[in-house]
Structure 1
């Protein structure tokens, strides 16, 4: 189960009521910064923009590829560890607006994590240190450290122990 907090709404759907839940100017600023970062090829500048303007936690030597879409409404709920890679056109969400409620949840991505291109990470998910997320994966639950996951819906392809065993066999060849 993802770790999200639920906020019920009455009347129109929760997205229609967005500016009751998050200030317009915060969303506007986040949108501009995220769009600039999506097209910025200089990784150091991109990480600085995320840290400085969006209050995200981004570890040293982390590489966020082109076209990555961070959560526009609650980017400060995203934390990416040291020496990780976020693949091209990945979406990282810390919110979900539904008909009768909206939900918020921290997204925690560990150290030395690799996330393949075109993946989507939903709110309230933790991706453990050293995990690998295959391209095109919908990450809808926590990812154990050191594991290899993929698919839609996501499933564990190899556990950390199986990955360690596979890596040891390849080094012996």
Structure 2
């Protein structure tokens, strides 16, 4: 399941009230930093932008592909471990604005995680060390360490033990 905090709103939908929940100038700063990072081909520069301007926690050796879209409202709630690959056009959300409430949740991506292109990670999710997320996956719940997951909605394809056994057979 996802670990999110829920905040009810009255009146108009929560997105319409966005600047009651997050400062306008924070969003502008984050937008500029994210757009610069999305288009730069220099991986160390991306990590520097994320760490410096967005206050994301990004481990050494982690590579964000082109067009990755971290959360624009609450990027400081995203942690990515060491030596990860975040695939092209992946979206990592730490918020969701709904009609009668908005939700916030930390996203924690462990060490040596591979996330395939065009995946979406929802708020409040933890992806365990060594996990693999197939391209195009909607990560709507936490991913066990070392497992291989995929699909929309996400399903476990192989557990850590099943993956280890398959890899041993293919040596």
* Residue 57 (structure 2) aligns with: 57
**Which consecutive residues of structure 2, in runs of 5 or more, have no partner in the other structure?**
none
Give the Cα–Cα distance (whole angstroms) in 2 for the partners of residues 52 and 153 of structure 1. Answer: 33
TM-score, structure 2 length as denominator?
Answer: 1.00
Q: The residue matched to 1:25 in structure 2 has which SS? A: helix
Q: CA RMSD in A?
A: 0.3
* Residue 14 (structure 1) aligns with: 14
* Residue 78 (structure 1) aligns with: 78
Q: The residue matched to 2:170 in structure 1 has which SS? A: helix
Give the Cα–Cα distance (whole angstroms) in 1 for the partners of residues 86 and 40 of structure 2. Answer: 14
Give the Cα–Cα distance (whole angstroms) in 1 for the partners of residues 21 and 7 of structure 2. Answer: 9
2:125 equivalent to 1:118: no
CA offset digits 1:30-50 (Å, max 9, x no partner): 000000100010000100010
Give the Cα–Cα distance (whole angstroms) in 2 for the partners of residues 115 and 102 of structure 1. Answer: 26
* Residue 33 (structure 2) aligns with: 33
Give the Cα–Cα distance (whole angstroms) in 1 for the partners of residues 31 and 71 of structure 2. Answer: 9
TM-score, structure 1 length as denominator?
Answer: 0.98
CA offset digits 1:52-101 (Å, max 9, x no partner): 11000000000000000010000000000000000000000000000000
Give the Cα–Cα distance (whole angstroms) in 2 for the partners of residues 96 and 46 of structure 1. Answer: 24
Give the Cα–Cα distance (whole angstroms) in 2 for the partners of residues 21 and 113 of structure 1. Answer: 31
* Residue 169 (structure 2) aligns with: 169
**Which consecutive residues of structure 1, in runs of 5 or more, have no partner in the other structure?**
none
* Number of positions where the alignment pairs a residue of Structure 1 with one of Structure 2: 171
Give the Cα–Cα distance (whole angstroms) in 2 for the partners of residues 93 and 67 of structure 1. Answer: 14
Q: The residue matched to 1:161 in structure 2 has which SS? A: helix
Runs of 4+ off more than 6 Å = none
Offset at residue 170 of structure 1 (A): 1.1
Q: The residue matched to 1:103 in structure 2 has which SS? A: strand
